[in-house]
Chain A
Amino acid sequence: MPESKESLRAPRRLIGPLWVGGLLVLLAFLVLYPLSMLVFGALSDSNPVVDGFAKFSPSLDHFVEVLVNENVHLAFFNALVACGGGTAFAVFIGLFFSWIVVRTDTPFRGFIAGASMIPLFVPPLVAGVAWGILGSPKTGLLNIALKWLDIDFRFNFYSMPGLIVVFGIYYAPYVYMFTASALRNMDPSLEEASEVSGASAFATLFTVTFPLIAPAILAGTLLSFVVMLGIYGVPAALGAPANINVLTTYIFKLTAWSPPLYNTAAAVAILLMIVTAILVWAQQKVLSGKSFATVAGKAFRPRQLSLGPWRWFTFGLALIYLFIVVILPTLALVIAAFRRFLFFKDFDAVFDAKAYGLWHFNAVFDNPLTMLSIWNTLKVGVITAVLGGILAFAIGYTVNRTTLKGRRWIDLLATIPVAIPGLVIGVAYLWAWIGLPGGLYGTIWILALAFVARFMPDTVKALSTSFMQIHKELEEAAWISGRGVLSTIFTIVLPLARPGVIASMTLLFVLAVRELGSSLFLYTSDTTVMAVLLLDYYEGGNTGKTAAFSLVQTLILGTLLCITTLLSRGAAQGAARTG
């Protein structure tokens, strides 16, 4: 049916606002609505579902209570020191390894890349437990070994430096994911220009390479800091024995109180959000007005720096790092999983073969909930990764690649959940979504929905760095050639951003598998997930079963890592060709 050009343009003009409006409505449902429940909770003493909004009499009592509490001040200070130190360490490690893997000819780079991601798959609680087994001042395996070697030095991971090191190790992959993908997508001609102008490789690294991937470094730094602020497992396992409290352990105490003080916990959570908001604002202030486009419409091949004999030095450093970060804690977990009890009279007792067996694995798989939880977790993980990936792509594209009105609001809404600790947001989701019609409550889908909402900032930020690097001229070229917006996205943007998309979906899957806080409130007997069962083993004081079950979890995630590494390697090559 023939239509005039005018009548076609009118609906087209509406597409932009409709698209933004749709995203805003979706984000309001996923973020604002649960958040309003949290604010309601923090400003009152009531449960919005039980008491309804009629009894709402707002007061700032919970905020005042929290702000004047000396123990909160101390917990806040401890959190800043532990997370600040941990972030600095994570950035150092993450940046170093992304450079080694992407930009040098260090041998076995693929292996190093895969292995250095392993810490990301270990639930924080398990990481804390593993490092407690290794570095407890009295019975830690490292200290038993030192004693056997007649060396006087003793490690003490039940301390602030211990917390910083473990945080640094486990959140370095965040920085790595951001910076490696940025380095992979960077046009090396800029570095070549620097070197042609007489700069040394070292000077080029610090004056050209790192400044160019500054958005990725900053995003990784910020995200790892904020995520650390919200972690409970590591400070619970390593800080508690030394009486070092951080904000999350304080919040946990509030929720474990009898009766649980969710309203006060909500107030602490909102204060945490304010801190995060300031950090995000600072990040945007630093980055505003600068162009970081390094993927332009010119063909390039990822450049590799030839290190000569030094490549064996970097390889050696990588091996030492992997030994400390992957082998040692895994060994501790393997020992805990296969050993009946973790009591070591002396170092020789570690090698007593009779003490090892499959008891814990048998017990874990004897539990009918185990297989159910694995199956449910995989389902929730896949649904979350796919739905969250699509949503994050839509948000990331709208925010970074369009000039549509309202995109800043989308960015803001998508960033908010990063700052809310899982234990608190879990109850907000329950309050918000339990009344939804259609029987969503009690299904796998409500868990997936919570995970998509909770980890949206992580996914969107991981993707945004990829978008920021793709030069606008590539899309413009497509438009000039007559392609529409959707066609341009599918033929130009998506293939170029594929490593980032795969990385963020992998990240989402991993985070969904590990997530406990929101699962605890939304799972039912049929939808129990691995994180819930893992907490049960831990809370029961079953280190052996906790270790055995977390090894199973790590194995599942490790298999996924291998698949996605292969996919993203293919994607990187594909992107290089396409560019």
Chain B
Amino acid sequence: MKRRTLMTGIAGAAAGWTLPALAQANEFGSKELIDAAEKEGSLTYYTANFAEVEQEVIKAFNKRFPKIKVAMVRAPGGQLITRIKTEAAAGKLAADVVDHSDRGLMLELQDLFQDYTPPNAADYRPDALVSPKFWPGVTLGWCIAYNTQLVKNPPKTWMDLTKAEYKGGKQIGQVVGPSGGTTWTRIMFERQVLGDDYWKKQAATEPVLYPSGAPTSDSLVRGEISIAPLLYNIIYTKIVEGAPAETVFAPEGVPIIPYADGIPKTAKSPNAAKLFMNWRLSKEGQTFAIKSLGNITSLKEPPAFPKGWDPKVIKAWVPKFAEFEKLRGPWVEEWNKTYGYRQ
């Protein structure tokens, strides 16, 4: 975007812009890459994340690179995977970048993706990576949320969610275990870190069960329930807008979900795709996601922390990928039995 300024070598105020722009250009990729990306001028972005959230990502990207138009296709996780598979088989995959929450499903499709390494690859936690082709452009994390108008003594730890004072009266809400990879990460954490009997103790508080995070967060704000484990980004934007809710990051650990994002081999705008990925994975992109969207990050040294996250106390927990895949079926079945949830 500052190419013309550079080339014409205009002095004065413009020069003040040029130098940091050059430094930033290196952060996001070589000048050649940026030139090639701007020449392509557009890319198509497939995401399983919420379209509204990703619109903000695109807006922020376009502040830095206004010459690249990003078109988005959004579908829920399962549908998106089916669509990618089918389009690819028919030779009609339109995606230049794919952003997906389920690393396991993406791994099955890795042959469709090209090799890609962001400039700051070494800054990422190795346990957040499942393939050299996929990178966590998005990382989400679980918190405990509560309605400030209804809860006088909020829980501070995951173990607090088993206390008798929160039993009955539809106080606690839970997203059901089989709802998807994000919830499976949390219940796996509960069992592995908080103890084999944690589910039993927690289920004894008679929580209200919800099919996904969205209705849970909505019910919490409305006061249908008072407390719920929630993905931080779902409740964060509501809190920013003034919802009567607050969150706690529990000291036992924060289960996080690194996404698997990649560039298909068939990308029609491979340079624009690389630049978009580079920017999202950069310090600037990750800081934006943490501060504006309520994401967490898979960077070893996070550039920012969400409110209430004391890095000395709170540690992120990433599931071991092999166990994540292997234990899923039997453990989710046990969870269903413990919580009396009909599959």
Neighbouring A residues of B76 by C-beta, 8 Å: 256, 520, 539
A18→B179 CA distance, assembly (Å): 51
- In the complex, the chain B residue whose C-beta lies closest to that of A436 is B90
Judge whether B82 and A262 touch: CB under 8 Å: yes
Neighbouring B residues of A245 by C-beta, 8 Å: 342
Judge whether B342 and A47 touch: CB under 8 Å: no
Neighbouring B residues of A401 by C-beta, 8 Å: none
Q: Which residues of B from 75 to 99 have beta carbons under 8 Å from A? A: 75-79, 81-83, 85-90, 92, 94
Judge whether A536 and B51 touch: CB under 8 Å: yes
Of the candidates A139, A240, A533, the one whose C-beta lies within 8 Å of that of B223 is A139
Judge whether B86 and A434 touch: CB under 8 Å: yes
Judge whether A341 and B52 touch: CB under 8 Å: no
Q: Is B214 an interface residue (CB 8 A)?
A: yes
The smallest C-beta distance from A290 to any residue of chain B, in angstroms, reads 44
Neighbouring B residues of A240 by C-beta, 8 Å: 210-211, 215
The smallest C-beta distance from B113 to any residue of chain A, in angstroms, reads 16
Judge whether A258 and B105 touch: CB under 8 Å: yes
Judge whether B81 and A259 touch: CB under 8 Å: yes
The smallest C-beta distance from B60 to any residue of chain A, in angstroms, reads 14
Neighbouring B residues of A241 by C-beta, 8 Å: 208, 210, 215, 219, 224
A537→B45 CA distance, assembly (Å): 19
The smallest C-beta distance from A57 to any residue of chain B, in angstroms, reads 19
The smallest C-beta distance from A247 to any residue of chain B, in angstroms, reads 13
A258→B103 CA distance, assembly (Å): 11
Judge whether B90 and A49 touch: CB under 8 Å: yes
Q: Which residues of A from 242 to 266 have beta carbons under 8 Å from B? A: 243, 245, 249, 253, 255-260, 262
Q: Is A222 an interface residue (CB 8 A)?
A: no
Q: Is A427 an interface residue (CB 8 A)?
A: yes
Judge whether B86 and A537 touch: CB under 8 Å: no
Judge whether B82 and A256 touch: CB under 8 Å: no
The smallest C-beta distance from A544 to any residue of chain B, in angstroms, reads 9
Q: Which residues of B from 225 to 259 have beta carbons under 8 Å from A? A: 234, 238, 241-244
The smallest C-beta distance from B103 to any residue of chain A, in angstroms, reads 10
Neighbouring A residues of B52 by C-beta, 8 Å: 363, 367, 536-537, 540, 542, 545
A359→B214 CA distance, assembly (Å): 19
Judge whether A525 and B210 touch: CB under 8 Å: no
Neighbouring A residues of B44 by C-beta, 8 Å: 525
Judge whether A341 and B243 touch: CB under 8 Å: yes
The smallest C-beta distance from B239 to any residue of chain A, in angstroms, reads 11
- In the complex, the chain A residue whose C-beta lies closest to that of B70 is A525
Judge whether B222 and A342 touch: CB under 8 Å: yes
- In the complex, the chain B residue whose C-beta lies closest to that of A426 is B79
The smallest C-beta distance from A273 to any residue of chain B, in angstroms, reads 21
A369→B241 CA distance, assembly (Å): 22
Judge whether A256 and B343 touch: CB under 8 Å: no
Of the candidates B55, B81, B179, B218, the one whose C-beta lies within 8 Å of that of A369 is B55
Q: Is A316 an interface residue (CB 8 A)?
A: no
Neighbouring A residues of B238 by C-beta, 8 Å: 341, 541
The smallest C-beta distance from B235 to any residue of chain A, in angstroms, reads 8
Q: Is A111 an interface residue (CB 8 A)?
A: no
Of the candidates B92, B94, B224, B342, the one whose C-beta lies within 8 Å of that of A139 is B224
Of the candidates A260, A342, A345, the one whose C-beta lies within 8 Å of that of B79 is A260
A435→B92 CA distance, assembly (Å): 9
Judge whether A541 and B78 touch: CB under 8 Å: no
Q: Is A368 an interface residue (CB 8 A)?
A: yes
Neighbouring B residues of A367 by C-beta, 8 Å: 51-52, 55
Of the candidates B78, B244, B341, the one whose C-beta lies within 8 Å of that of A260 is B78
**Given known A-B contacts A71-B343, A259-B105, A359-B241, A47 and B221 have beta carbons under 8 A apart:** no
Neighbouring B residues of A532 by C-beta, 8 Å: 74
The smallest C-beta distance from A79 to any residue of chain B, in angstroms, reads 14
A476→B221 CA distance, assembly (Å): 67
Q: Is B149 an interface residue (CB 8 A)?
A: yes
Of the candidates A74, A249, A368, A541, the one whose C-beta lies within 8 Å of that of B218 is A541
Q: Is B119 an interface residue (CB 8 A)?
A: no
Judge whether A369 and B210 touch: CB under 8 Å: no
Q: Is A558 an interface residue (CB 8 A)?
A: no
Judge whether A236 and B82 touch: CB under 8 Å: no
Judge whether A340 and B241 touch: CB under 8 Å: yes
The smallest C-beta distance from A460 to any residue of chain B, in angstroms, reads 29
Neighbouring A residues of B108 by C-beta, 8 Å: 259
A524→B46 CA distance, assembly (Å): 10
Judge whether A139 and B51 touch: CB under 8 Å: no
A236→B341 CA distance, assembly (Å): 15
A535→B185 CA distance, assembly (Å): 24
Judge whether A138 and B211 touch: CB under 8 Å: no
Judge whether A541 and B179 touch: CB under 8 Å: no
A258→B209 CA distance, assembly (Å): 19
Q: Is A442 an interface residue (CB 8 A)?
A: yes
Q: Is A441 an interface residue (CB 8 A)?
A: yes
A134→B217 CA distance, assembly (Å): 18
The smallest C-beta distance from A509 to any residue of chain B, in angstroms, reads 24
Judge whether A49 and B86 touch: CB under 8 Å: yes
Judge whether A257 and B178 touch: CB under 8 Å: yes
Neighbouring A residues of B222 by C-beta, 8 Å: 136, 139, 341-343, 543
Neighbouring A residues of B74 by C-beta, 8 Å: 532, 536
The smallest C-beta distance from A232 to any residue of chain B, in angstroms, reads 11
Q: Which of A236, A258, A528 has the most CB of B within 10 A?
A: A258
Scoring B residues 141 to 163 as 1 if CB is less than 8 Å from chain A, else 0, what string do you get?
00000010100000000000000
Q: Is B212 an interface residue (CB 8 A)?
A: yes
A178→B215 CA distance, assembly (Å): 36
A345→B244 CA distance, assembly (Å): 11
Q: Is B41 an interface residue (CB 8 A)?
A: no
Judge whether B244 and A258 touch: CB under 8 Å: no
Neighbouring B residues of A71 by C-beta, 8 Å: 342-343
Neighbouring B residues of A542 by C-beta, 8 Å: 52, 214
Q: Is A155 an interface residue (CB 8 A)?
A: no
Q: Is B50 an interface residue (CB 8 A)?
A: yes
Judge whether A47 and B223 touch: CB under 8 Å: no
Q: Is B73 an interface residue (CB 8 A)?
A: yes
Neighbouring B residues of A136 by C-beta, 8 Å: 222, 224
Q: Is B180 an interface residue (CB 8 A)?
A: yes
Neighbouring B residues of A255 by C-beta, 8 Å: 78-79
Q: Is B302 an interface residue (CB 8 A)?
A: no
Judge whether B77 and A258 touch: CB under 8 Å: yes
Neighbouring A residues of B87 by C-beta, 8 Å: 434
A563→B214 CA distance, assembly (Å): 37
Scoring A residues 258 to 282 as 1 if CB is less than 8 Å from chain B, else 0, what string do you get?
1110100000000000000000000
Cross-chain pairs A/B with CB under 8 angstroms, 26 sampled: A47-B85, A49-B89, A74-B342, A138-B170, A256-B180, A259-B78, A260-B81, A260-B82, A340-B241, A340-B243, A341-B242, A341-B244, A343-B221, A367-B52, A368-B55, A430-B83, A430-B86, A431-B86, A434-B86, A521-B75, A528-B73, A533-B51, A538-B214, A539-B212, A540-B53, A540-B234
**Assuming A241-B224, A367-B55, what are 20 further A-B pairs, CB within 8 angstroms?**
A47-B89, A50-B88, A253-B343, A257-B178, A258-B104, A259-B108, A260-B79, A343-B221, A369-B55, A427-B82, A442-B92, A521-B75, A521-B79, A524-B73, A525-B44, A525-B72, A525-B94, A536-B50, A538-B214, A539-B50
Measured CB to CB, the residues of A under 8 A from B are 47, 49-50, 71, 74, 136, 138-139, 236-237, 240-241, 243, 245, 249, 253, 255-260, 262, 340-345, 359, 363, 367-369, 427, 430-431, 434-435, 441-442, 520-521, 523-526, 528, 532-533, 536-543, 545
Measured CB to CB, the residues of B under 8 A from A are 44-45, 50-53, 55, 71-79, 81-83, 85-90, 92, 94, 102, 104-105, 108, 147, 149, 170, 178-181, 184, 208-219, 221-224, 234, 238, 241-244, 341-343
Closest CB pairs A-B (n = 6): A260-B78, A525-B71, A541-B214, A50-B89, A541-B217, A540-B50
